[in-house]
Structure 1
Amino acid sequence: MKNIFLSILFLVLTANVKAQTNQYSISFENAVHHEAEIKATFPDLAPGTLSVRMGRSSPGRYAIHEFAKNVYNFKATDSNGKLLKIQRPNPYQWDILEHNGEVTISYTLFANRGDGTYAQIDETHAHLNIPATFMYAPALTARDIKVDFKVREDLNWKVATQMQQLSATSFAAPNFQYFMDSPVEISNHAIRQFEVEDNGTTQTIEFVLHHNGTEAALDTYFEQVKKIVLAQRDVFGELPQYDFNKYTFLACYIPNASGDGMEHRNSTILTDTEGLEEGGMKNNIGTVSHEFFHGWNVERIRPQSLEPFNYAQANMSGELWFAEGFTSYYTNFILCRAGIITPAQYVEGITGTFNYVWTSPARQFFNPIEMSYQAPFVDAATSVDPVNRENTFISYYSYGSVLGLALDLSLRQEKLNLDDYMKLVWQNYGKDEIPYTVADLHTTLAQYAGKDFSDQFFNNYIYESGMPDYENLFASVGVVLKQHLDKPYFGASVSVNQFGSGIIQRNPSIGGPAYAAALSSGDVITSINNMPLTQGQSFNEFIEQFKVGDTLTVAYTRYGVPKTTKVVLGANPAYSIHLMEKEGDKPSRKVLKARKAWLKTE
């Protein structure tokens, strides 16, 4: 009798678990026209209205994207197949009335953008970011989820995702948040793997590549991927504990994709139009480095402001200068340490980002925390009205990157380093997944480097917008920072068209010569000092014939009306950055030792 009772109890519990599972399926019969047919069944419902909706944001993105715009042919039925009444309270929600305890919805999805946010369906692949693909029920987010991908066998499609695999085409997620964070690549892709052991646990690093190239090119690329993985593990001392002991790169390098990268808990999306043999071998590897570093920094070292991630509205965080910016600092830094680029390439590659940040007038408006707050307006966000971002915004990726550089070199002057600070943040917050705040980062730096050092860094460069002493910091590792103040500066981006007219492309820089002369975006320059511009001519080269302090008479039209103004050329604020050997100087033994310790090179 006891065994019979236990058997009945097991069956009841099993049936209850099954009843509490939301089940999805997706098929791709009309992939040639970028359509998928999706069904979802929500069983064991309480009486009343069931609301389902499409998400409005996506993991790793911070702006609104309105995925509901690509949904049509929506229907809802009960367990008997009866069509149910539907109401629409807003553009992204469907309210389903008078069900009998179970609802099955179906709809068609149009999807034709292959990147880290959207979905793309065609006869090359089904590239699925979950918020852009599947509806969800806000009241049922604690339930586990099963999804069946009805692949195109005629196209040799296979499924790759971080979700738990139940069969070749069926996968499971423990809850809504995990499901939404689990992108999927369905294609005739290739796979490479290697294993890494930490603390007695062996984990698999898997690289899935959908491309049109050769196996040999993938083999070469995968060797670089392995070097990146191991170099980043050295920063933190260990890999994160991945679910199912596996991390998956989902790379899609095909002409119909869009360039992007997007991190997830145990996987990352990597997309680009360039194949490995068409420039992608060199140009795409930085994205691999950036996104893998996020497996620690942002996925597990997680800002409290992003927990839980809200799929119904934009997510705002003041920590993105660290989560995205410090990750950006390590992106090329790791390529250098791994021997994929040279120290000279790494150092000279800093120049563009450095100039973008430190010559921008935007620091007078926002500090790094406030720049992070701008993410909902800039992170792949769209708007039709003109904005003044050129003067008011610095990307938190770039701003945080050059601050990470400054912190690293500053710590090294104290015989410390950024790697060990990151390890401590990992131990304090990331390893046990305790969400952090800016104040926590400040406190942890004090724990590592002392209160005075931490206060000086945060008070001057995070809570305020001060500029570190980069000339001294660079000199400590044999890097030269220079401004060329003898070069003239106009203060606006000008493109010369086929008619010999100079079009001001963007808002002139606040405080610059063009701004002071009341020139504006869209103005058409017809001559300077009565000299016409020439088709195909570089405007910057034209300006270089003059000297700093020269006054130029600029003839231009605005809205078709001829005008003139006087522009007094300023000194070019841009910096150059290079190893001191480029100027024929030899670093001292002490400086060379410091550089080798920084870059971990021989």
Structure 2
Amino acid sequence: MKFILSILAMFTGLFLTAQTNTYEISFDNAVHHEAVVEATFPDLTSDTVEFRMSRTSPGRYALHEFAKNVYGFEATDSKGNTLTVTRPNPYAWHVSGHDGTINIKYILFANRGGGTYSQVDETHAHLNIPATFMFSPELSERKLEVTFNVREDLDWKVATQLPKVSENTYSAPNLYYFMDSPTEISNYMLRSFKVDGKTINLALHHNGTEAEADTYFEKVKKVVLAEKEVYGELPEFDYGNYTFLACYIPNASGDGMEHRNSTILTSTRSLADGGMERNIGTVSHEFFHAWNVERIRPKTLEPFDFEEANMSGALWFAEGFTSYYTGLILCRAGLESPKEYVEGLAGTFNYVWNSPARQFFNPIEMSFQAPFVDAATSVDPVNRENMFISYYSYGSVLGLALDLSLREKALNLDDYMKLVWEKYGKTEIPYTIQNLHDALNEYAGKSFGDNFFNSYIYKSNMPDYKALMDSVGVILEQLEASPYFGAYVSMGADDSGYAVRRNTSIGSPAYEAGLDNGDIILSINDKPVTTGQSFEDYLAQLNLGEPVEVKFSRYGIEKTTEMVLTPSPDYTFSLMEDKEAKPSKKMLKQRKEWLKVE
């Protein structure tokens, strides 16, 4: 009997091995940003097999056309015979004439070190998997193994959420897990700590010191523990590990990209040059995604499509509420003072509050815009200034409003997030917007939940922020009367006038006066333009509410228009005590519970 079982085990092992796709990647020409990828696909039954480069990437919501960086494609069978290759579209290679096995080989050019693309040079091989490896859609459920041929002469080592098979070979149970597993290969510094039996790792690739890595990791720890408090527990990370893959080097691109058990963190700022404080916000945002979006997941992102962009109306929650917690967590973790946090709310608030785009789209419809704005590229001019609000920002200010509104009922957003986590995160049941609505009704009552969703999610009304901020001892007030123009303006190339650099905002003085992107303002009320003078200082010479004559150039033709400057619509956030006002004991208690600080 033992002999029969051994034979069965042997044949089962052979079958499983035959069903494993294997990849190998090498970096001999890293100096010119090239990698060579080879892969073997055995036990094939289709006469023609399609291989593709992904057009999308987990964590992003737009198309990125990774096939554009692939060349030198070759395909052979198990005996090395050259196979027939045809191109049915820009993203795919059809291979036929095989003997049950297809070997492919190609060159990849990679030179953008962020969360979406890959970068290969002599400092590292920074790999976003969809931007690096071809796949066959019909073989997506197969197990994979990948061998990273590291540059030992550069002291490279591998950091990834993929489980190790041996030395530099790693495995994935299927294509999706592989695609969701970014990999950093470099001479990085590693720091780890354990929380509730789970290991949190920081693989830090930077040009700084071990002492800087130690200091920064203490900040990372505080973020992890503060975010755990929101949900009451960490997720069950696969293989018991979560890894921050941080590249803070001059050749990187600023970015952050969440994945199931890891996240990419990239910045050109070194820890010694402001990164110690400024990079930690990305840590806060991306780690919060380990709950909200990776496991509390919109149904509209499932299954993730590697061939087309998923459209989701839930990004105001998935990204926006995560953005609300980004700064709040830094305050709770003691990495930012209450004063810094509260005053820092103004930028996002003013962007959303003053945007004319709310007349066109609500938060759900703003989320629908993601395939056009999420690092998507186009060459034609667009009118984003007037018709789009980032779902990150829109959701963030709504998260603030919901949190403070709930606190007036002796409830809070943390506990609502816990409820959503229990229902849809731990269970990994993808949610709908109606599910979020129902959960808020369950947590805070039907009247409260219906009012929030009907007013601010299905419509684009705005809450009463002055009253909400007052409840925690924060003064929200309009800026002192300074002139408002309505577009970004800076000195032109020849110092002869001020160039309008963006579309003018609907309803603003500039818009009503007929000024547009590209116009050169030569003078206002004949006041001469002074080299080196900011446009804000130039406007400060003028009186509000009075008509002024604007001379400007458009396409080389001088024109004149009339404009009435109005006060700035922007607001500031201040702690009451900083404005010599005295918050009540109730306000201070509410603030303490909100920010979790003394």
What TM-score comes out, normalization by structure 2 length? 0.99
Q: Is the contact between residue 211 and residue 252 of structure 1 (CA under 8 Å) also seen in structure 2?
A: yes
Q: 1:510 aligns with which of 506, 510, 521?
A: 506
**For residue 600 of structure 1, what is the aligned residue in structure 2?**
596
Q: Which moved more, 1:486-495 or 1:209-218?
A: 486-495
Instruction: Figure out how many residues of one structure are paired with residues of the other and give that number.
Output: 597
**For residue 383 of structure 1, what is the aligned residue in structure 2?**
378
**For residue 564 of structure 1, what is the aligned residue in structure 2?**
560
Q: Is the contact between residue 496 and residue 534 of structure 1 (CA under 8 Å) also seen in structure 2?
A: no
The 5-angstrom pairing of residues 478-517 of structure 1 reads: 478-484=473-479, 486-497=481-492, 498-517=494-513
Partner-residue secondary structure (3-state), 2:39: strand
Q: 1:555 aligns with which of 548, 551, 558?
A: 551
Counterpart Cα distance in 1 of 2:592 and 2:87: 62
Q: Which amino acid aligns with 1:313?
A: E
**For residue 91 of structure 1, what is the aligned residue in structure 2?**
90
Counterpart Cα distance in 1 of 2:388 and 2:6: 64
* Residue 171 of structure 2 is aligned to residue 155 of structure 1: no
Identity %: 65
Deviations 1:232-253 (A, max 9, x none): 0000000000000000000000
Q: Which moved more, 1:6-15 or 1:531-540?
A: 531-540
**For residue 122 of structure 2, what is the aligned residue in structure 1?**
123
* Residue 440 of structure 2 is aligned to residue 445 of structure 1: yes
**For residue 516 of structure 2, what is the aligned residue in structure 1?**
520
**For residue 207 of structure 1, what is the aligned residue in structure 2?**
202
Q: CA deviation at 1:107?
A: 0.3
Deviations 1:315-354 (A, max 9, x none): 2100000000000000010000000000000001110000
Partner-residue secondary structure (3-state), 2:88: strand
Counterpart Cα distance in 1 of 2:251 and 2:45: 44
Deviations 1:276-329 (A, max 9, x none): 111110110000000000000000000000001101111210000000000000
Partner-residue secondary structure (3-state), 2:260: coil
Counterpart Cα distance in 1 of 2:109 and 2:429: 38
* Residue 431 of structure 2 is aligned to residue 432 of structure 1: no
Counterpart Cα distance in 2 of 1:382 and 1:310: 19
The 5-angstrom pairing of residues 242-321 of structure 1 reads: 242-321=237-316
Q: Is the contact between residue 320 and residue 369 of structure 1 (CA under 8 Å) also seen in structure 2?
A: yes
Q: CA deviation at 1:547?
A: 2.6
The 5-angstrom pairing of residues 8-157 of structure 1 reads: 8-157=7-156
Unaligned runs of 5+ in 1: none
Q: Is the contact between residue 486 and residue 547 of structure 1 (CA under 8 Å) also seen in structure 2?
A: no
Spell out structure 1 runs of 4+ moving beyond 6 A. Answer: none
Partner-residue secondary structure (3-state), 1:134: coil
Q: CA deviation at 1:167?
A: 1.9
Q: 1:535 aligns with which of 531, 538, 543?
A: 531
Q: Which amino acid aligns with 1:478?
A: G
Q: 1:218 aligns with which of 213, 234, 238?
A: 213
Q: Which amino acid aligns with 2:575?
A: L
Q: Which amino acid aligns with 2:516?
A: S
* Residue 344 of structure 2 is aligned to residue 349 of structure 1: yes
Counterpart Cα distance in 2 of 1:431 and 1:68: 36
Q: Is the contact between residue 500 and residue 532 of structure 1 (CA under 8 Å) also seen in structure 2?
A: no
The 5-angstrom pairing of residues 567-582 of structure 1 reads: 567-582=563-578
Partner-residue secondary structure (3-state), 1:537: coil
Q: CA deviation at 1:168?
A: 2.5
Q: Is the contact between residue 318 and residue 369 of structure 1 (CA under 8 Å) also seen in structure 2?
A: yes
Q: 2:361 aligns with which of 360, 366, 370?
A: 366
Counterpart Cα distance in 1 of 2:580 and 2:479: 18
State the Cα RMSD in Å.
0.8
Counterpart Cα distance in 1 of 2:347 and 2:240: 38
Q: CA deviation at 1:47?
A: 3.4
Partner-residue secondary structure (3-state), 1:166: strand
Deviations 1:534-556 (A, max 9, x none): 11211112112223211110001
Q: 1:455 aligns with which of 450, 458, 461?
A: 450
Deviations 1:225-275 (A, max 9, x none): 001000000000000000000000000001110000000000000001111
Counterpart Cα distance in 2 of 1:151 and 1:127: 12
Deviations 1:435-482 (A, max 9, x none): 001100000000100000000000000000001000000000000001
Counterpart Cα distance in 2 of 1:84 and 1:534: 69
Counterpart Cα distance in 2 of 1:185 and 1:485: 49
* Residue 397 of structure 2 is aligned to residue 402 of structure 1: yes
Q: Which amino acid aligns with 2:96?
A: L
Counterpart Cα distance in 1 of 2:326 and 2:34: 36
Partner-residue secondary structure (3-state), 2:31: helix
What TM-score comes out, normalization by structure 1 length? 0.98
Q: CA deviation at 1:488?
A: 2.4
Q: Which amino acid aligns with 1:176?
A: L
Q: Is the contact between residue 493 and residue 504 of structure 1 (CA under 8 Å) also seen in structure 2?
A: yes
Q: Which amino acid aligns with 1:181?
A: D
Counterpart Cα distance in 2 of 1:181 and 1:296: 15
**For residue 330 of structure 1, what is the aligned residue in structure 2?**
325
Deviations 1:53-72 (A, max 9, x none): 00001111111111011101
Counterpart Cα distance in 2 of 1:580 and 1:360: 27
Q: Which amino acid aligns with 1:62?
A: Y
Q: Is the contact between residue 159 and residue 168 of structure 1 (CA under 8 Å) also seen in structure 2?
A: no
Q: Is the contact between residue 485 and residue 573 of structure 1 (CA under 8 Å) also seen in structure 2?
A: no
**For residue 176 of structure 1, what is the aligned residue in structure 2?**
175
Unaligned runs of 5+ in 2: none
Q: CA deviation at 1:527?
A: 0.9
Q: CA deviation at 1:485?
A: 6.5
Partner-residue secondary structure (3-state), 1:308: coil
Q: CA deviation at 1:484?
A: 3.2
From the superposition, tell whether residues 360 and 36 of structure 1 become closer, same or farther in structure 2 (CA, over 3 Å).
same
The 5-angstrom pairing of residues 575-590 of structure 1 reads: 575-590=571-586
Deviations 1:476-498 (A, max 9, x none): 00000011373322222211235
Partner-residue secondary structure (3-state), 2:166: coil
**For residue 465 of structure 1, what is the aligned residue in structure 2?**
460
